[in-house]
Amino acid sequence: MPENPRGALRRTPVLAGNWKMNKGPLATRSFFDDFCARHGARDDRSIWFFPPAIAVYTAVHALRQRPDIDVGVQNIHWERAGAFTGETSAGMAAEAGARIVLVGHSERRHVFGETDEQAARKVAAALAEDLDVLVCVGETLEEREGGRLEQVLARQIDAALGEARDAMLRFAVAYEPVWAIGTGVNATPADAAAAHAFLRQRIARAANATIAAEVPILYGGSVTPDNAADLLAAADVDGLLVGGASLKPDAFAAIAATPGRG
Ligand code: PGA
């Protein structure tokens, strides 16, 4: 198995902030002035931030004294360069100092029509640049109520795993039920645990049980300082991917301090 460059991260709690289309470079700098004063470096957890692409370089620079915090991009294009107006390549993200790529977030899938096949190509492009990937999967309310939860999760995760078999130590997953994102209605810890167990089985099927046990699976969807501890305590929940509550330094510092499991 190849050595993981950030090996300490495996299955330690990961607290990640996805800023979506919020905060340019100036707001990014002032966020980190505030957040870093509230959250000191700890080696028992990993903190990842996904600012907008235009603020990634600023974030990396603002965090140059904080190797405990990693910066990622929210999206990439799968091509290396060329006539793709408005897009960012994996190589450019790496050059800006990003270490991780978020792939297949539900807003990419449902607002921008991104397919499983496109998400898989993005996984391959990120891994080719030695970036880690955090692949988002999750069902809509209609799919859940129609009894198609496992079918949807299997389709989404299998597409991404197809490109990652040789680089599983760079692979992380976020289970984000679409109905829980930005709605104030989080999944229950039991629902999250069930979905995570299913995803881990799927990873074991594609790789093996030893590798599957090492892959961090984060929960996302209406995480707040109030529900973070219960969600992170659920079986198979290795971290949290936080949207709205990651925009405020005090709220995200509280989430970043959530006690890990045992
Ligand atoms: P939310 O978003 O925490 O605002 O629900 C989560 C996400 O989309 O990653």
Taking the centre of ligand 1 as the mean of its atom positions, its distance from the CA of residue 72, in whole angstroms, is: 16
**pLDDT score of 96 more than 90:** yes
In order of 100, 159, 252, 260, the CA distances from 240 in angstroms are 15, 22, 11, 11
pLDDT digits (tens, 9 = 90+) for 207-262: 999 999 999 999 999 999 999 999 999 999 999 999 999 999 999 999 999 998 76
Report the pLDDT value the prediction gives residue 262, as an integer from 0 to 100.
60
Tell me which residue has tokens 């955090």.
134
Taking the centre of ligand 1 as the mean of its atom positions, its distance from the CA of residue 244, in whole angstroms, is: 6
- Residue 146, φ and ψ in degrees, nearest 5: -85, 5
Work out which ligand 1 atom sits closest to the CA atom of 246. Answer: 3
Calpha distance 98→94 (Å, rounded): 5
Calpha distance 172→114 (Å, rounded): 19
pLDDT digits (tens, 9 = 90+) for 134-190: 999 999 999 999 999 999 999 999 999 999 988 999 999 999 999 999 999 999 999
Calpha distance 209→203 (Å, rounded): 8
Asked if residue 231 has its Cβ within 6 Å of ligand 1, the reply is: no
Whether 142 is a known active-site residue: answer no
Asked if residue 17 has its Cβ within 6 Å of ligand 1, the reply is: no
Work out which ligand 1 atom sits closest to the CA atom of 182. Answer: 5
Asked if residue 176 has its Cβ within 6 Å of ligand 1, the reply is: yes
Nearest Cα residue to atom 9 of ligand 1: 243
Beta bridge partners, 100, equal: 72, 132
- Given the residues 105, 107, 139, 163, select the one marked as catalytic: 105
Asked if residue 217 has its Cβ within 6 Å of ligand 1, the reply is: no
Asked if residue 178 has its Cβ within 6 Å of ligand 1, the reply is: no
Asked if residue 169 has its Cβ within 6 Å of ligand 1, the reply is: no
Whether 196 is a known active-site residue: answer no
- Reported CATH class of domain 14-256: alpha beta
Calpha distance 70→1 (Å, rounded): 23
